[in-house]
Amino acid sequence: MYIQAITLFPEMFAALTEYGVTGRARQHGLWRFDALNPREFADNPLGYIDDRPFGGGPGMIMMAPPLQAAIDNAKKACPDGRLIYMSPQGTPLTHTRVSQLAQESGLIVLCGRYEGIDERILMGNDIEEISIGDFVVSGGELPAMMLIDAVLRLLPDVLGDDRSAQQDSFVDGLLDCPHYTRPIQFNQMVVPEVLRSGHHALIAQWRLAQSLKRTLTRRPDLLKGHAFTPQESRLLQEIQQEQQDIPL
């Protein structure tokens, strides 16, 4: 996959290109990265890329011409690249959308700064506005890196073990189960017996029950659209029965 970021701070993306599983995956050629700095596409000799908002108000707005020039260059390098703008006004990102984006051959992610970008960039390009949550940060770079990281870890061979990504929260519409490693006892707390039993079917059932419990208590909204397997329905009934048995 070929990922391009349009950003005033290309160095920030070292977090992705140089570290951890995404860094290793890039070294192994599983994805490529380029940053385009709008400043290098400025139409003035001083490299100004922002200006005051029409209508007044605080802060600065990123100007359309250098952004459009950067977009055009990114498109030239990757004509099939999907254009994305990170913004709190965007569609909230979900695991489903992340896995769709992981099927693309290229992404071009536009990162805003200041008060944002000139609206005509959004009007004049086929561009998807995506939000990583209902909060504001000072630049689109960190949201972009979160989106890109989420996409990359779904690419074949990026994670050490194919099963890792399959286990994660949201993949099957449920939250992940608790995890334990050595030592068996820590601060008076012991690893659940079943996980040490070596009984694979019982372990799988315990984990599924834990996932259902967590989802029920922490994110009941996720269960609304969930297609329950017969085993999940049975376990959920048992859990709800258990909870009713607890006296108030």
Stretch that binds ligand 4GO, among 35-43, 65-73, 83-91, 176-184 (CB under 6 A): 83-91
Q: Is 53 in the site for ligand 4GO (CB under 6 A)?
A: no
**Cβ nearer to ligand 4GO, comparing 85 with 206:** 85
Q: Of the candidates 66, 106, 116, 173, which one interacts with ligand 4GO according to CB under 6 A?
A: 116
d(CA 177, CA 212): 8
Does the protein bind ligand 4GO through residue 123 (CB under 6 A)?
no
Q: Is 136 in the site for ligand 4GO (CB under 6 A)?
A: yes
Bridge-based pairing state of the strands 82-92 and 106-110: parallel
Instruction: Rule CB under 6 A: say whether 132 interacts with ligand 4GO.
Output: yes
Q: Among residues 38, 66, 81, 143, which is the contact residue for ligand 4GO, using CB under 6 A?
A: 143
Instruction: Say whether residue 151 binds ligand 4GO (CB under 6 A).
Output: no
Stretch of residues binding ligand 4GO (CB under 6 A), selected from 24-32, 33-41, 96-104, 108-116 = 108-116
Among 67, 74, 86, 102, indicate the residue that binds ligand 4GO (CB under 6 A). Answer: 86
Catalytic member of 10, 82, 104, 115? 115
**Cα dist from 245 to 173, 207, 211, whole Å:** 27, 22, 20
Q: Is 137 in the site for ligand 4GO (CB under 6 A)?
A: yes
Q: How far apart are CA 10 and CA 36, in angstroms?
A: 7
Total residues contacting ligand 4GO by CB under 6 A comes to 16
| Tokens read off for 71 | 């977009």
| 220 labelled catalytic | no
Cβ–Cβ < 8 Å for 18, 120? no
Catalytic status, residue 230: no
Binding segment (CB under 6 A) for ligand 4GO, from list 19-27, 128-136, 165-173, 236-244: 128-136
Q: Which one of 38, 81, 106, 112 is in contact with ligand 4GO (CB under 6 A)?
A: 112
Asked if 7 interacts with ligand 4GO (CB under 6 A), we say no
**Where in the sequence numbering do the catalytic residues fall?**
88, 115, 153, 168
Site residues (vs ligand 4GO, CB under 6 A): 86-88, 112-113, 116, 131-133, 135-140, 143
